[in-house]
Each structure stands twice: as C-alpha cells, then as structure tokens.
Structure 1
Amino acid sequence: MTEPSVRRKLPECDRCLFYAHDPHLVCTNHPSGVSSDACLGFQCDPMAEPEVLWEPERASYYNGELIMTPEQRWSCLGKLAILDLHPMFTGRCPQCEAGIACEKAGVHWDCGHCGWKDDSV
C-alpha cells in the first residue's frame, strides 16, 4: 500500500468559493487539502473575508503552522553592542584597537597585543 501524499490548507483557501469552513475538511474539491503550493480549482469568493490567525507574542505562522520563537541569549541592545564592538565586524580589538586576524575558521577572535579573549562562543 502506498503512503498518502502530504496535503494541507493553503493561505488563500479561506477566500475560495469551495472552502468548507469545517475543521475536518478543507474544501469540496480537495477535502484533505492540496499536495502542491497552488490549487488549480481556486475561485475567489468576493464575499469572503480572510480568517485572521491569532498570533501570540514571540510566535509567528510559517506555512500555516504556528512556530514559537526560541528564547534569545542576547538582548536587542546586546546584539547592537556586538555589531559595534566585536572583531568579527570591526577587525579590531575592542580594548586596544589593534587589528585582529581570525583564527580557526572564524571561531576564535583573541588579541595577541593586549590579551583580550573572545568569550562569546
């Protein structure tokens, strides 16, 4: 027996004339959804209003699935400080301003002049 192909609801399904407005069926043409990124049977319903998906803080929808944003280790200000000071972006030591060459394929940024060590990794 063959495995059924993955089927899903498309973002435009809720604006289609054939949309079922049922949690178990997508539409009358494709009850379990379509297997591609487009539906050949789509007909825009001029009276339909798109469904608004509720989106909690620190989450977003990707391909119709709610994805939680992982906790970030750095604050927004911390990220900006890294862009302004880190040798990966400036090419200079944040303490003595000496030029720093990257060692070990972009992982270690340590200053040989003043002894500053990158502890961000």
Structure 2
Amino acid sequence: MPKLPECVGVARLRHRCLLNPHNLHIVCAVHPAGTQGDSCLDFRENPDIEPEELWQPEGASYYNDELILQPQQRLTQQQQLELLDTHPMFTGKCPQCQHEFDRDWSARVHWDCSECGWMDDTV
C-alpha cells in the first residue's frame, strides 16, 4: 500500500508524519491498511524534520519522485521540415550526391555516404 505524499517527503523519501513507525510492511501505525481517500485526517507533522523544498527548473517535472528534464528542441519548425525533405532516413538518398542507399535504409542508425563522404551529424 503506497503512502500518501503528505506522509513521506517526496524528494528524499523521509517520513514526515509522527504516526509513521518507519516500518516497510505497514503504511502507518494508525492506518496499517492505508487511508480511505487521498488525504489523512490523522496526519501529524513531525517537528524534527526540516521543511523540504521541491525545486524544479523550468521545463522539468517530477515523475515517480524523480526529477526529469524535458529535452530542449534544437531545431526550428522550418529546419525540421527541411530535414524531412532531405535526410536519407526519409528519402533513401544522400542529400549531397543523391546516391541511393541499399533497401535496408529504414533500419540504419548511421547515415554516412560511401560515395561522396557525406556524414550525418544530427545523431
């Protein structure tokens, strides 16, 4: 049975409630099977625990108590459209010399042209 967020500090998983016996096998001393609903009327703040600040940079968020940074989009929409029109992953051809890649081109990871020496630097 998972503990409520108010019972356990999210970032460091420190127990914030005085009623929690710090036992892995039960949720809390008062509600061993868990509470009914999404809050606990018996919650008592532990005065010995320092307040915890959940800081997150812009573009990041917490998932399962872990801070996840969202990838930054490096290409503009125009650059993305150009990539669709020219990259061998989508065309099957080298953008520099128009050499056709073998038919297995959809399973490739590296897109380096053996004819003209063009190398894919997007990966």
Shorter-normalised TM range: 0.3 to 0.5
Q: Compute the TM-score of the two structures, normalised by the length of structure 2.
A: 0.46
- Structure showing greater radius of gyration is 2
Q: Compute the TM-score of the two structures, normalised by the length of structure 1.
A: 0.46
